[in-house]
């Protein structure tokens, strides 16, 4: 199955939907609730973390240049700041910024991807989706990420995060891995070579090819992307082969 060509409109719709769910979590879960998937953070800290990301992206995207900007701040929540108000204001501005900007406008990003604003439409949709899941976990139960968005999230980890060197798993593994998205009819083939990683183009692979995969993981796309981000264990999926290879795909 070929990878779908997603658009600004798709990512904006996903961003709005995930943002609404994150806002609902802020309104129903105590702000001092621990976030089990973000050790050491309460829900208020998670909201402030997203707020800082949104504010930074709001400043980066409209510049129309690809030069590296100042680093994103990573400061603790200031005394006297309401994290719900701060998040709401930043999210509202982010949606307005991304809605107004041409996806082909030149814009910095840190990945081996085209330096265009569309990178941030995609990135902010996934950032918000994963942290929405985190926020709901502070209340004890999370909804899965929508399959089409989760499928693109798996691809983003493999074509952006890992090639950019943003791996948290071991970098001394080598071999072919197949990730099967059972609800999206898609398979990702990834080759690890120590610190190197390559996402194979499935459009050029034939069903009769022997891919020599040494490890496989199968499950819904939401579980796959959450495993790549370290939110759930790989053994929540159906796994086979040398499962230690799967740890080499973690980015969170």
Mean pLDDT computed over 128-145: 97
CA distance 76 to 29: 20
CA distance 107 to 116: 5
**In degrees to the nearest 10, what's the CA dihedral of 47, 18, 92, 106?**
100
pLDDT at residue 195, as a whole number? 86
- Picking from 135, 142, 138, the residue whose alpha carbon sits closest to that of residue 34 is 138
pLDDT at residue 4, as a whole number? 58
Mean pLDDT computed over 112-125: 97
CB 143 within 8 A of CB 134: no
Mean pLDDT computed over 119-123: 98
Strand pairing of 213-219 and 174-181? Answer: parallel
Backbone angles phi, psi at 193, to 5 degrees: -135, 80
For residue 197, pLDDT beyond 50:
yes
Q: Can you tell me which residue has the tokens 């790989």?
A: 234
CA distance 67 to 60: 10
Question: Per residue in 2-21, is it b (16+ CB within 10 Å) or e — as a string?
Answer: eeeebebebbbebbebbbeb
| Structural domains present in the chain | 8-137 (1.20.120.450), 147-247 (3.30.1050.10)
CA distance 194 to 183: 30
- Picking from 91, 94, 37, 90, the residue whose alpha carbon sits closest to that of residue 62 is 94
In the structure, what pLDDT confidence band is assigned to residue 169 with cuts at 50, 70 and 90?
confident
Name the token pair of 247. Answer: 């740890």
Least confident of 95-99, 203-207, 226-230: 203-207
Q: What would the pLDDT profile of 229-243 be if each residue is shown by its tens digit? A: 999 999 999 999 999
Which class for 225: exposed (0-12), middle (13-18), buried (19 or more C-beta within 10 A)?
buried
Least confident of 30-44, 56-70, 96-110, 201-215: 201-215
Portion of the chain with pLDDT greater than 90, in percent: 88
pLDDT at residue 203, as a whole number? 56
pTM of the model: 0.94
Q: Which positions ≥6 away from 149 have C-beta within 8 Å? A: 14, 18, 125, 126, 129
For residue 208, pLDDT beyond 70:
no
Q: Can you tell me which residue has the tokens 């950032």?
A: 127
């Amino acid at each position: 199955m070929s990878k779908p060509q997603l658009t600004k409109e798709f990512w904006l719709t996903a961003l709005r939907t995930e943002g609404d769910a994150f806002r609902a979590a802020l309104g129903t879960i105590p702000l001092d609730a621990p976030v089990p998937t973000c050790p050491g953070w309460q829900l208020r800290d998670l909201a402030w973390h997203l707020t800082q990301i949104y504010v930074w992206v709001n400043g980066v995207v409209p510049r129309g240049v690809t030069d590296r900007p100042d680093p994103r701040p990573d400061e603790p929540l200031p005394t006297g700041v309401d994290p719900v108000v701060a998040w709401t204001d930043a999210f509202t501005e982010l949606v307005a910024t991304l809605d107004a900007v041409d996806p082909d406008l030149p814009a910095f990003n840190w990945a081996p991807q085209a330096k265009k604003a569309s990178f941030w439409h995609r990135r902010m949709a996934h950032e918000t989706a994963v942290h929405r899941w985190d926020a709901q976990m502070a209340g004890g139960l999370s909804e899965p990420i929508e399959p089409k968005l989760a499928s693109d999230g798996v691809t983003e980890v493999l074509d952006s995060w890992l090639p950019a060197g943003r791996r948290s798993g071991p970098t001394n593994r080598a071999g072919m891995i197949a990730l099967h998205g059972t609800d999206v009819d898609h398979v990702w083939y990834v080759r690890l070579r120590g610190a190197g990683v390559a996402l194979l183009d499935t459009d050029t692979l034939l069903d009769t090819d022997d891919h020599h995969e040494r490890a496989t993981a199968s499950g819904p796309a939401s579980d796959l992307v959450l495993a790549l981000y370290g939110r759930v264990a790989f053994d929540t999926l159906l796994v086979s082969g040398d499962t230690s290879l799967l740890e080499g795909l973690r980015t969170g």
